[in-house]
Chains A and B, each alone.
Chain A
Amino acid sequence: DIQLTQSPSFLSASVGDRVTITCRASQDVRNYFAWYQQEPGKAPKLLISAAITLESGVPSRFSGSGSGTEFTLTLSSLQPEDSATYYCQQLSTYPLTFGGGTKVEIK
């Protein structure tokens, strides 16, 4: 199975900060990669697909980059509503797998 190592597991940042979350895959997943946001008590929401494609309605401060085994989710200017847990997912090989999650807290 492909393992996804997501870091950090927790981060605390201020409004307006640039925030970066990294996900490393144990094997090449090409660009078959997605990022999700999950607010407490809610279902996950797709932010980015195909590693770099911003989903409709997602604010442009979110961006994704990477391919192969290393991927990054960047929030260019953190907003209060971005307080959530973020997950990466590889879609290359079954079983599909998620990273362990990054909880983002607003200072």
Chain B
Amino acid sequence: VQLLESGGGLVQPGGSLRLSCAASGFTFSNYAMDWVRQAPGKGLEWVSGIISSDGRTYYADSVKGRFTISRDNFENTLSLQINSLRAEDTAVYYCAKRARDGHNSAADYWGQGTLVTVSS
């Protein structure tokens, strides 16, 4: 299993970024996926999740309305469109594979993360 995030960088407050996660080594369409972030020196924060079978999406309250998760089961790619960025969105963003496609399963594989820095 490999998860390779990309798309992070320095962006001004109010700006946008699109994060991507290229998945390989497993049947991507069979698993739910998450984005989890970690601000510098802080703990883990679950950001968003998406179920493969029905496309249902879920968000943390802190990002609802600004972030959009999506997936392409043909390209084996998970994405996170992040808009209206704030300083508090500065974090390493991890892509994570869930143990099955559905609820209640833990994240059994993680990428190495991509850093998003929001600053003027």
Contacts and interface: CB of A to CB of B under 8 A. Distances in A.
A95 B61 contact: yes
B27 interface: no
B46 A49 contact: no
A96 B46 contact: yes
A55 interface: yes
Q: Chain B interface mostly helix, strand, loop or mixed? A: strand
Contacts, number: 60
Nearest to A31: B104
Interface residues of A, number: 26
A89 B98 CA distance: 13
A46 B36 CA distance: 14
Interface in A17-59: 32, 34, 36, 38, 42-46, 49-50, 55
30 contacts: A1-B61, A34-B106, A36-B107, A43-B94, A43-B111, A43-B112, A43-B113, A44-B36, A44-B107, A46-B107, A49-B99, A49-B105, A49-B106, A49-B108, A85-B43, A87-B44, A89-B44, A89-B46, A91-B103, A91-B104, A91-B106, A94-B49, A95-B59, A95-B61, A96-B34, A96-B46, A96-B49, A98-B43, A101-B43, A101-B44
